[in-house]
Amino acid sequence: MDLRPPAVRGLLEHLERLPGVGPRTAQRLAEHLLTIDPGELEAFAAVLAGLHSTVDLCSTCCLLTTDDPCPVCADPSRDQGIILVVEEPTTAWAVEATGEYHGLYHALLGHLSPLHGVGPDDLTIDRLETRCRSGEIQEVILATDPTVEGETTALYIARRLQPLGIAVSRPASGIPVGGEVAAVDRVTLAQALQLRRLV
């Protein structure tokens, strides 16, 4: 007999759909949500409900933002001649936390994956190339994840940008193969950016 009320079962089903959340973690999260102050739960629900109406992608770099252009694109003190390319917008948060990077960003919104039907037209590669044709960009750092898909994506972009005469580099060693850029500690990520290599 399942003693969980229908509302709790529904909550558990939704929690288990989140990345990295299994049945046990979902149960702990549900227990927490059921025992916190009702006012705190309402505030949490309001934040979740407002995500799609208040957060969008920057029309220039595709980072998550409430303003368009985003704070990075709108900041004239950033180095306007360099773009750091990441797979997901959230990876930029980890890079910013290092305090070592002061250029612009570009989020691809994924990586090339022919097996899953993801081609160049499904990413923001055309938009990146358009930005690079402006004449202001001197270097593009391809900080895609060091996975097979990430490396394939970086190689494809490097070949697309080659005719433009822009320096294209990759972060140096220190990021484990098969890992995610966003999961690397700040010091390692900062060193990888400082010691980047040309592609």
Res 2: pLDDT: 85
CA angle at 183 for the pair 177 and 185, rounded to the nearest 5°? 100
pLDDT for 146 equals: 82
Mean pLDDT of 69-91: 97
pTM: 0.78
User: Looking at the domain covering 6-54, what would its CATH class be?
Assistant: mainly alpha
Rounded to whole angstroms, how far apart are CA atoms 194 and 190? Answer: 6
- What CATH number belongs to 64-198? 3.40.1360.10
Task: Give the residue with greater pLDDT, 144 vs 196.
Answer: 144
pLDDT computed for residue 175 by the predictor? 55
Q: With 70 as the cut, is the pLDDT of residue 191 above it? A: no
Domain definitions of the chain by residue range: 6-54, 64-198
179 vs 77: CA distance, rounded Å: 32
